[in-house]
Amino acid sequence: MAVRSVTTAAVCAAVVLLQPMVGADDAAAQDVAAGRRKAIACQGCHGMDGLAKMPDAPNLAAQPANYLERELRAYRSGARRSEVMSVAAKALSDADIRDVAAYYAAIRIEIKDVPQ
Ligand code: HEC
């Protein structure tokens, strides 16, 4: 009986603890899905796969979302300047920035042939 109630309590605690995490995962998945749609505007230069399609554009695949968000806000505010990105970032809302950053950050890459 005692063992059973401890087990029940543990299961309940786990369910309560997991609940917000499941919600957060769902929200993150929604950001990525929305970001995929919004990244269509970026693909000419950065690719849908996050690999640059132009020599002067950087790869975005697997860059940390925090970093991508910070740089996009910097372009938008004028703190970071680029002929192309200062214009491209002006059109982005906070939600757009969060979503495209989540999308490019979610791409998995594999590192090979690191020079030794
Ligand atoms: C016409 C080409 C073009 C388009 C379209 C474009 N970019 Fe860029 N992007 C660039 C170039 C070029 C740079 C490098 C600018 C610099 O020197 O700061 C850049 C830089 C960036 C960076 C900084 C990356 C780093 O490593 O610091 C981010 C983030 C970024 N772009 C995101 C986006 C997103 C998101 C979109 C779509 C909403 C987009 N770009 C659309 C060309 C483009």
Query: How close is the Cα of 71 to the center of ligand 1, in Å?
Result: 9
Residue nearest to atom 41 of ligand 1 (CA): 42
> How many residues can be counted in the chain?
116
CA distance 66 to 49: 19
Q: Is 45 in the pocket of ligand 1 (CB under 6 A)?
A: yes
What contacts 111, CB < 8 A, 6 or more positions away? none
Are the C-beta atoms of residues 39 and 103 closer than 8 Å to each other?
yes
What per-residue confidence (pLDDT) applies to 12? 47
The closest residue, in CA terms, to atom 15 on ligand 1 is 82
pLDDT interval class at 10 (50, 70, 90): low
92, 41 contact by CB (below 8 A) = no
Of 7-21, 24-38, 51-65, 102-116, the one with minimum mean pLDDT is: 7-21
pLDDT digits (tens, 9 = 90+) for 25-59: 898 999 999 999 999 999 999 999 999 999 999 99
pTM: 0.85
- Measured CA to CA, the distance from residue 67 to residue 46 in angstroms comes to 16
